[in-house]
Amino acid sequence: MPLIKTETVIKADLKTCFDLARNIDVHQESLKCSCEMAIDGKVSGLIELGESVTWEARHFGFVQHLTSKITEFKASNYFVDEMVSGAFKCFKHKYIFHESENRTIMTDLFYFESPYGILGKFADALFLKKYMTKLIETRNNFLKEKAEAV
């Protein structure tokens, strides 16, 4: 299963970064490039443990739907969302936050698996891992700018 790991250093407090990362409205704003919209479940505000959201977005020229649920949550330290339904065979996205020298380090661990067996593994290696990394980095850069402006 491929893993994407990113670390973003943010000059803002832990709670601000944590809350921005789980804010549905901020998520939509950060990924306007893929027309990402929350269409069902928790569609606005801060998502909490046990809540789910269905996203509609345009990727690779196709409108896609993906539902994820918050399966682990410890306020201001970490949360995990996992795909319930969508284009992947599965995915699990861990968001981990810790403070260091008056900054917050936000670590993303994004595990995913494409469907279609060997063809999916080929797609992962050929373009999907790079594409997903770019999406995560785009979102994280947006969160960093927003948090540092507070």
CA dist 92 and 78 (Å) reads 13
Count: domains in the chain = 1
CATH of the domain at 145: 3.30.530.20
Instruction: Tell me the C-alpha distance between 14 and 118, whole Å.
Output: 41
Which class for 149: exposed (0-12), middle (13-18), buried (19 or more C-beta within 10 A)? Answer: exposed
Confidence (pLDDT) at 150: 86
pLDDT at 69: 98
Segments forming the whole domain that contains residue 9: 3-149
The candidate with the shortest Cα–Cα distance to 93, out of 6, 19, 15, 28, is 6
pLDDT, averaged in runs of 10, over the chain (150 residues): 96 98 98 95 98 96 96 98 96 97 97 94 93 97 97
Three-state SS for 42? coil
